[in-house]
DNA sequence: GTGGTCTAGACCACT
DNA sequence: GTGGTCTAGACCACA
């Protein structure tokens, strides 16, 4: 589990942690019931505060990707891959819907939009 | 000029104002040198503080879309088409950048993203 | 007397008027005791408020370049050209003194300074 | 970091703060990532309001000389030498622009101006 | 009337 | 503790 923190980023540290853990779990790198590093250990490794890591773990528990068990630790939740994927896609569609409104009111065509995305992925 | 404020939104009020004014100006709805509602009037209409509106106007002055003149008012700046387009694209890229972070951390590929967009435009 | 106002300039209108009147008087274009246009006439010609012109005239009276006589009008003061010039140069030296402090603390050499000035006058 | 405020000056307090911080940073006195005094501390030390200091910090963030990070503090940004120099020259040009208006309206020629500068540097 | 500056103080988000 | 947002209200400069 290799998590990188950018101390100067505008994105809150707890969110950086969440994003990377989410990516790792969704990529299938960790099995269900895998025990996450303890909050203290993770905080020490990343060089951030304990509260910050706790916030990240808590958020992921609410999200359903992690499960916290009193006195034992935090574990990777059992996930139905298809169902999870569908959730992500639904979230994506909501974001895309907002994006389309922006493009429509800004005179940006579908062509230009896709072109920008392609450029972005080529960097 | 119809601006709506969502007091419960996560996005700061001044940013909501900025986004909507920007949209209105870039859509060409307002002519160059159009006099914006005075800070006090706008604040009263929106039911927000004077400083909040001022902050929004200030930011847009820095952005180059408005010009503020002491004792006279705040006016729509003259913008050439190319510069206008560039502003829009810059905004688009900021949004796409956030979108990419979401996709990357959600195990959604470039392929899937473009596919979703294409579907959306076909509806 | 040809005075131009830039309504969109950041410089206050009354100051624009002052600068141009000062220039005209110092250039010797107007004789001593020349009667300036009335405040109302000047305001009408320039398309600005009466108060704005009054402010400009008042300031120039305090500066000693104009003399206001109750019920008669505003006139060009008698000026000792040499003395006036010396006053301007003294003011210039004060400004240059500040400028030098800025250059010294910003690692800008005399060479660079004069070069920038030359460039500026060539535009 | 020794900043002096002149409460009676015509230049706004936040601008006085900005000018002095800019000078300090551009002079190389502070290293990249140096943590600036907190807004509250600086405000208390200078005897001004919190918002005044915040305004100064905000402006310098927009200028690219500082970076503000929620919950952590405000830091000196990393600046490359060329960009630094360009900032200084831009500031110089703004000052020279004002100086030129003064000279033009005071019947002082480019020759006289440069002569005065040369004299000043010879003292 | 307009915008520009400044204050004191409150509440929230992040570390 | 840090910065970020927002308010209410005051005073000044400008037109």
pLDDT band at C51; cut points 50, 70, 90: very high
**pLDDT for the residue B114:** 96
Task: Tell me the C-alpha to C-alpha distance, in Å, between residue A89 and each of A52, A93, A120, B103, B117.
Answer: 28, 6, 20, 9, 12
Mean pLDDT across chain A: 91
pLDDT band at C74; cut points 50, 70, 90: very high
Copy the structure tokens of residue D96. 């020279």
**pLDDT for the residue D111:** 95
**pLDDT for the residue D47:** 92
For residue A61, pLDDT over 90 is answered with: yes
The 10s digit of each residue's pLDDT in D22-56 is 989 988 889 999 999 999 999 999 999 999 999 99
Residue with tokens 């010609």: C45
Mean pLDDT for C72-100 is 90
pTM for the full model?
Answer: 0.86
Residues in chain B: 123
**pLDDT for the residue A68:** 93
DSSP 8-state code for residue C77: P
Rounded (10°) angle between helices C50-63 and C39-46? 120
Burial status of residue D103 (CB atoms within 10 A of its CB: 0-12, 13-18, 19 or more): buried
Of B40-44, C102-106, D100-104, the poorest mean pLDDT is in C102-106
Q: How much of chain A exceeds pLDDT 70, in percent?
A: 100
Rounded (10°) angle between helices D110-122 and C110-122? 180
Mean pLDDT for A44-51 is 93
Mean pLDDT for B39-58 is 94
Residue with tokens 């790792």: A24
pLDDT band at B81; cut points 50, 70, 90: confident
Spatial distance from the CA of D1 to the C1' of F15 (Å): 41
Q: Measure the N-to-C terminal CA separation of chain C; round to a whole number of Å.
A: 25
Mean pLDDT for A86-115 is 91
Q: Residue A108 and residue A4: Cα distance in Å, rounded?
A: 35
Spatial distance from the CA of B71 to the C1' of E4 (Å): 9
**pLDDT for the residue B32:** 92
pLDDT band at D60; cut points 50, 70, 90: very high
**pLDDT for the residue B89:** 92
How far away is chain A from the Cα of D26, in angstroms, using its nearest Cα?
Answer: 21
**pLDDT for the residue B20:** 92
Mean pLDDT across chain C: 92
| Nearest residue to B18 via CA among B83, B74, B82 | B74
Q: Which residue on chain C is closest to D93 by alpha carbon? A: C116
* Contact (CB<8Å) B116/A100: no
Q: Residue B65 and residue B77: Cα distance in Å, rounded?
A: 5
D7 CB and strand F closer than 7 A: no
**pLDDT for the residue C105:** 83
Q: Which residues pair with B75 in a beta bridge?
A: B35, B67
For F14, nearest residue by CA–C1' is B71
Burial readout B27-57 (b: 16 or more C-beta within 10 A, e: otherwise): eeebeeeeebbebeebbeebebeeebbbbbb
Mean pLDDT for D103-110 is 92
pLDDT band at C36; cut points 50, 70, 90: very high
Mean pLDDT across chain B: 91
Which of C19, C112, C117 comes nearest D114 by C-beta? C117
Instruction: Choose between D118 and C82: higher pLDDT.
Output: D118
Mean pLDDT for C57-86 is 91
Is A7 touching D (CB cutoff 8 A)?
Answer: yes
Spatial distance from the CA of D64 to the C1' of F15 (Å): 35
Copy the structure tokens of residue B70. 């002491």
Largest Cα separation within chain B, whole Å, is: 54
Q: 3-state secondary structure string, chain A? A: CCCCCCCCCCCCHHHHHHHHHHHHHHCCCCCCCCECCCHHHHHHHHCCCHHHHHHHHHHHHHHCCEEEECCCEEEECCCCHHHHHHHHHHHHHHHHHHHHHHHHHCCCCHHHHHHHHHHHHHC
pLDDT band at C79; cut points 50, 70, 90: confident
pLDDT band at B26; cut points 50, 70, 90: confident
Mean pLDDT for C54-71 is 93
For E3, nearest residue by CA–C1' is B70
For residue D11, pLDDT over 80 is answered with: yes
The 10s digit of each residue's pLDDT in D66-98 is 999 999 999 999 988 888 888 889 989 989 998
Is D116 touching C (CB cutoff 8 A)?
Answer: yes
Give chains near B: 3+ CB pairs under 8 A: A, C
For residue A97, pLDDT over 80 is answered with: yes
Q: Which residues pair with D69 in a beta bridge?
A: D73
């Amino acid at each position: 589990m290799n998590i990188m923190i950018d101390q100067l980023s505008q994105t809150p540290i707890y969110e950086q942690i969440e994003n990377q853990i989410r990516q790792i779990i969704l990529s299938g790198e960790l099995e269900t019931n895998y025990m996450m590093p303890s909050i203290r250990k993770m905080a020490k490794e990343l060089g951030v505060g304990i509260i910050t890591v706790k916030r990240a773990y808590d958020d992921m528990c609410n999200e359903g990707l992690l499960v916290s068990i009193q006195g034992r630790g935090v574990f990777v939740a059992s996930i139905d891959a298809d169902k999870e994927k569908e959730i992500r896609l639904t979230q994506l569609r909501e974001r895309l819907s907002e994006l389309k409104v922006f493009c429509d009111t800004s005179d940006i065509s579908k062509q230009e939009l896709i072109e920008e995305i392609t450029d972005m992925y080529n960097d």
